[in-house]
Amino acid sequence: MSEFDVSQLVEDVDLVRARVAEQLAEVDRVVVVMSGKGGVGKSAVAVNLALGLAQLGRRVGLLDADLNGPSVSKMLGLRGQPVRVTGDGLLRAATGPRGILVQSMDFFLQGNQALDWDGPEGEAASVRSALEQAALGDLLGRTDWGELDFLVVDLAPGADRLPALGQWLPRIAAALAVTIPTQVATLAVERSLRRAREAGFPLIGLVENLGTSICAKCGAEGPLFRETLDSEIVQDLGVEVLARIPFDADLAAAADRGRPFLEGEAMESVAGIALAQLVARVDAYQMPGPEGESW
C-alpha cells in the first residue's frame, strides 16, 4: 500500500475558517437543514424552503452539503451544470429557479459517477471524514456567494454532521430539523438535536414531514404512519414543530421534474400551505446575537 499523508490535502482549520468567513461576510443568515436519518424528505424540505424564501423576494443561496447525493441539483433541474470560475478564481454558483444560487458536489462529477474518497488502493479510507470536511470547507469558502439574505444548507443525515459543519460557520447560523413520525426516525432526530445542543448550536425548530398523505382523487388528508408526533414527544424533544407537511404526489412530481412546487394551485394545497407556513416561520426567526449561543 502506498504511503498517504492527509496533511497534503487538508488545510489548516484557521485558514479555511477565515476563507469561509470572507465569502459569507455578506450573508445575513445561514439555515442548516438536518435530520437524524436519511429517507425523511430533508432535501425536499431544504429545496422548497429555499424556493419559498426566494418567492418572498429574499436573496437565497443553497449549498448541497450531502456530498454523495445529487438530490438538490435534480430537484432544481440543474444536473449537468458545468463548473464555472470567476475572474478572482472563486467558484461561481449555478443559478436555479427564482434566481437562487446553488452549489453542489454533483456539479464536479460526470453523470452518475460516484464520489470516491478512498483512492485506487484504499489509502485514504481512514481519513475520509477529514477529506469530506475539507470538501465542505472548499464549497463554502471558495464559492462566490455575494450578498444573500439566506444561505440554506442541506446537510447529510447523521448526528455528527452539524457539529462538524459548525466549525466553519460564523455566528449567523441556526438549524432546522426534519423527521417523519415514526419511532425510529424520532429516536434518530432526538440524538441529532441533543448533539446540536451540546455543541451550542441554535435550533429554529422541527418539521414533521410525510406524517399524512393527500388522496389524489378526492383531496382528503389521512395518516401515512401509525405513529404521530404527539405533544408529549415534541415536549421531550424540546423544540417547536414549525410545520407538518403531508406527502403530496404533485410535490414529488415537481421535484422529479426539477420545477418549483409553490406556485399556482399548489399554493392552496395542504402541502403548499404547510410549506408556506414553514417559510414564514423561518423568515421571521431571529438569529442569536453576539451574546447568544456559540459553538
CB 27 within 8 Å of CB 148: yes
Distance CA 65, CA 154 (A): 5
Domain-embedded: residue 186: yes
Lowest mean pLDDT, pick from 133-137, 201-205, 272-276: 133-137
Q: What is the pTM of this model?
A: 0.88
DSSP strand pairing (173-179 vs 221-223): unpaired
Mean pLDDT computed over every residue of the chain: 85
Task: Say which CATH number the domain at 111 has.
Answer: 3.40.50.300
Overall domain count for the chain: 1
Domain-embedded: residue 1: no
Work out the burial of residue 149: count CB atoms within 10 Å of its CB; fewer than 13 is exposed, 13-18 middle, 19 or more buried: middle
Report pLDDT digits (tens) over 197-225.
Answer: 888 889 999 999 988 887 777 777 888 77
Report pLDDT digits (tens) over 44-87.
Answer: 999 999 999 999 999 999 999 988 878 999 999 999 888 899 88
Domain-embedded: residue 41: yes
Which structural domain, as residue segments, surrounds residue 249?
Answer: 6-284
Domain-embedded: residue 294: no
Q: What is the pLDDT of residue 216?
A: 74
Domain-embedded: residue 253: yes
| Closest residue by Cα to residue 100 from 66, 51, 137, 144 | 51
